[in-house]
């Protein structure tokens, strides 16, 4: 005979009703039965389908929304969320390559491509003298025509003298710089920030939306090649790192 202790340990706790609803909905999304932007059944329809209370259904939908499976629009309905893109945290990769790897379409819009003089802060970032001529580019990257990154980059002109002659609608600054000044070292500083009003307009987001900001510096041998300020809408992107001990 089992002792009371062993018998109680063998009993599996029942799955809460709201978890059953979550599992059923997430399985439909994972299987592709419900695709991004599809509208899912209303709370009333799910109550009828599962036979659970409205409170149970509401909790399941709220938790799935918090976990990134769903998007709920007041007065409109509940929709399958677009999966967030991933940006490499420890790797230095081109955003175009990241987007293509997801089988999505990348395009960009070049807003500025110019020569300027290094301010005190930029001179320190690039390890050049203040007032040194440097190159500056401002580019918006789109994934399936949705803006996902503002790339504000300053480049050491001595490391890439033909930077201003490049067509960055056909290649990326990262790809070009990797050819002319092969990467040997990189630095990332990550912050959670609120974008400036003009940046919100470029990213087509509300001013209240949090964003992810990466300050990225890259080296080739002993020289700093560029300093980039990469701004992502928090609702559309996440950062992922992988490392080994």
Same domain, 113 and 197: yes
Q: Which of 33, 58, 80 is the last residue of a domain?
A: 80
152-210 pLDDT, tens digit each = 999 999 999 999 999 999 889 988 998 888 888 888 888 889 999 999 999 999 888 89
Q: Is residue 141 part of a domain?
A: yes
Tokens for 38, please give them. Answer: 């599809």
Same domain, 60 and 133: no
pLDDT at 92: 62
Q: Crossing angle for the helix pair 43-50 and 54-66, nearest 10 degrees? A: 120
Residue 12 makes CB contacts below 8 A (sequence gap 6+) with none
Q: CATH number of the domain at 119, please.
A: 3.40.1410.10
Q: pTM score, two decimals? A: 0.63
Same domain, 51 and 144: no
Q: Is residue 2 part of a domain?
A: no
Share the mean pLDDT of the chain: 85
pLDDT at 154: 98
Same domain, 96 and 47: no
Same domain, 121 and 174: yes
Same domain, 116 and 31: no
Could you count the other beta carbons within 10 Å of the beta carbon of residue 130? Answer: 12
Same domain, 111 and 217: yes
Same domain, 100 and 121: yes
Between 93 and 117, whose confidence is greater? Answer: 117
Q: Is residue 28 part of a domain?
A: yes
Q: Tally the domains of the chain.
A: 2
- Indicate whether 122 pLDDT > 60: yes
Burial of 182 per CB tally in 10 Å (0-12, 13-18, 19+): exposed
pLDDT at 91: 55
Q: State the residue range of the domain holding 229.
A: 85-240
Same domain, 128 and 229: yes
**What is the band of 79 on the pLDDT scale with cuts at 50, 70, 90?**
confident
Least confident of 16-30, 89-103, 172-186: 89-103
Same domain, 144 and 236: yes
Same domain, 73 and 141: no
Q: Is residue 6 part of a domain?
A: no
Q: Report the share of the chain in percent with pLDDT over 90.
A: 52
Q: Please state the rounded mean pLDDT for residues 119-145.
A: 94
Q: CATH number of the domain at 62, please.
A: 1.10.10.10
């Amino acid at each position: 005979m089992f002792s009371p202790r062993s018998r109680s340990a063998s009993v599996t706790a029942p799955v809460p009703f709201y978890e059953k609803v979550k599992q059923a909905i997430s399985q439909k999304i994972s299987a592709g039965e419900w695709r991004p932007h599809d509208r899912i059944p209303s709370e009333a329809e799910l109550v009828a389908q599962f036979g659970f209370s409205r409170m149970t259904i509401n909790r399941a939908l709220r938790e799935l929304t918090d976990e990134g499976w769903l998007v709920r629009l007041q007065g409109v309905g509940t929709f399958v969320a677009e999966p967030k893109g991933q940006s490499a945290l420890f790797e230095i990769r081109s955003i175009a390559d990241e987007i293509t790897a997801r089988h999505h379409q990348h395009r960009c819009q070049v807003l500025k491509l110019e020569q300027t003089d290094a301010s005190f802060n930029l001179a320190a970032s690039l390890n050049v003298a203040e007032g040194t001529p440097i190159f500056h580019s401002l580019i918006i990257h789109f994934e399936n025509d949705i803006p996902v990154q503002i790339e504000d980059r300053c480049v050491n002109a001595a490391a890439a003298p033909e930077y201003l002659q490049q067509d960055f609608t056909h290649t990326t600054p990262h790809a070009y710089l990797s050819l002319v000044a092969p990467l040997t070292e990189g630095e990332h500083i990550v912050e959670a920030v609120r974008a400036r009003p003009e940046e919100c307009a470029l990213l087509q987001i509300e001013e209240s939306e949090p964003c992810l900001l990466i300050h990225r510096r890259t080296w080739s041998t002993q020289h700093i090649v560029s300093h980039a300020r990469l701004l992502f809408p928090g609702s559309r992107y996440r950062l992922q790192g992988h490392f080994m001990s």
